[in-house]
Amino acid sequence: MTHQISANVQETREMTINMGPQHPSTHGVLRLEVVLNGEVVSRVHPHIGYLHRCFEKHAEAMDDYSKVIPYTDRIDYVSAMNQEHGYVIAVEKLLQLEVPERVEYVRVILAELQRIASHLLGIGTFGLDLGAFTPFLYCFIEREKILTIFEKISGARLLYNYICVGGLMRDVPDSFKPETADFVKTFRPKIKELNDLLSYNKIFIDRTANIGILPAEVALNYAASGPMLRGSGVSWDLRKNDPYSIYDRFEFDIPVGSGEVGTVGDCWDRYMVRVREMEQSLVIIEQALEQMPDEGNVMEAVPKRIRMKEGEVYVRTETPRGELGYYIISDKSPSPFRVKVRAPSFVNLSILPAISRGALLSDLVAIVGSIDIVLGEVDR
């Protein structure tokens, strides 16, 4: 039996709905103005700025380059160590400062531990968005272990203010090395557990494969970076392609999206790049622990007062979310003339309208989750 539907009944009007700023799966205070045709997304307009905390103004107002570091922590509060690391490298480049070996190794180990912690949170909440609650709890068990290590060295769980210009706030305790080695050993089997639990789960694959496909050339034109770009099959990692600190001393792979369960550049690929990156971070940590000198004064190169010359520098580092750039212009005064943060989430989020056209509304949640934004970084 066929139904006769007259043409004017079929006519639908587009509907605009708001997602956020209070929404459980926008990862913070993101507001999406979604124009829907039935259940299909026609257009998305992201509205940001709900967490604009005036970082750049604060950086100019501080009377010392070191006083900016606590604010850099708060830009991306999920990976504070990477933020500090990036800023400090930029200031050291302006000062033409050499830092001791031991400091470099500790910084790299901390940056990689932070990368794992950040990815665990990203993966956990991504699962949460798609209705998988248990992986979130498993991820947080492991994340707490990393936070315990951080707490022992810096005294804080989330925002550390530990890496300083020329060195570290204090030396790491003796327990740092064995505890980190222990974590590496116990964490490896957990990645397999996570794969069994979430990555190759049929429901999870159905929700993420072939959704939100980002082609490589679009990703490059939008200057996407991090897992967002690597998920599209572009082998691009600043730790390899433009090595900073001492990353050129380690051997590791760059995982890229291959379209294993769907198309190259879909949500699953972006997710899986993060899981594989955690393995590579473990590889780096192992090598760094082995090579790290046992002795050394971490305060040796710390300048008493920072005296700048005129100059400017753009330094980029690889954070868990992608390319973090610090553009610092210095004049002769003790405070920076201009600090601009090129935040990876800000750039990655701007692709959202391009890749969510034609997706279902429920898939929009998956796409936003796979970008892994931190609103502190988007809005600064």
Cα radius of gyration rounded to whole Å, the chain: 22
Is 76 or 363 the residue whose CB approaches other proteins more closely?
76
Using the contact rule CB under 8 A, the part of the chain among 43-51, 165-173, 181-189, 287-295 near other proteins is 43-51
Least Cβ distance, residue 122 to other proteins (angstroms):
12
Using the contact rule CB under 8 A, the part of the chain among 8-16, 119-127, 273-281, 293-301 near other proteins is 119-127
**In the chain, what is the greatest distance between 2 CA atoms, to the nearest angstrom?**
86
Helix or strand or coil: residue 229? Answer: helix
CA dihedral 200, 203, 208, 211 (to 10 degrees): 130
Using CB under 8 A as the binding rule, whether residue 357 contacts other proteins is answered as no
User: Which residues inside 157-216 make contact with other proteins, applying CB under 8 A?
Assistant: 157-159
Is 221 or 291 the residue whose CB approaches other proteins more closely?
221
CA dist., res. 376 & res. 380, Å (int): 5
322-328: which pairs have CB atoms within 8 A and are 24 or more residues apart? 322/224, 322/225, 322/226, 322/227, 322/228, 322/229, 322/347, 322/348, 323/223, 323/225, 323/226, 323/238, 323/347, 324/76, 324/82, 324/83, 324/86, 325/86, 326/86, 326/87, 326/90, 328/90, 328/91, 328/94
Indicate which single residue of 14, 16, 17, 22 sits in contact with other proteins (rule: CB under 8 A).
22
Residues near other proteins (CB under 8 A), total: 72
Using the contact rule CB under 8 A, the part of the chain among 48-56, 199-207, 253-261, 276-284 near other proteins is 48-56
Least Cβ distance, residue 51 to other proteins (angstroms):
6
Q: Rounded to 5 degrees, what are φ and ψ at 116?
A: -65, -45
Using CB under 8 A as the binding rule, whether residue 43 contacts other proteins is answered as no
One-letter identity of residue 378 = V
Least Cβ distance, residue 46 to other proteins (angstroms):
9
User: Which residues inside 234-293 make contact with other proteins, applying CB under 8 A?
Assistant: 234, 236, 241-242
Least Cβ distance, residue 330 to other proteins (angstroms):
8
CA dist., res. 94 & res. 330, Å (int): 8
CA dist., res. 238 & res. 228, Å (int): 14
CA dihedral 197, 201, 207, 212 (to 10 degrees): 80
Contact letters for other proteins, residues 307-336 (x by CB under 8 A): --xxxxxx-x------x-x-x-xx------
Using the contact rule CB under 8 A, the part of the chain among 133-141, 174-182, 249-257, 277-285 near other proteins is 133-141
Is 257 or 262 the residue whose CB approaches other proteins more closely?
257
For tokens 């790290």, the residue is 292
User: Which residues inside 72-111 make contact with other proteins, applying CB under 8 A?
Assistant: 74, 77-78, 93-94, 96
Using the contact rule CB under 8 A, the part of the chain among 36-44, 202-210, 278-286, 305-313 near other proteins is 305-313
Indicate which single residue of 56, 206, 260, 279 sits in contact with other proteins (rule: CB under 8 A).
56
What number of residues does the chain have?
380
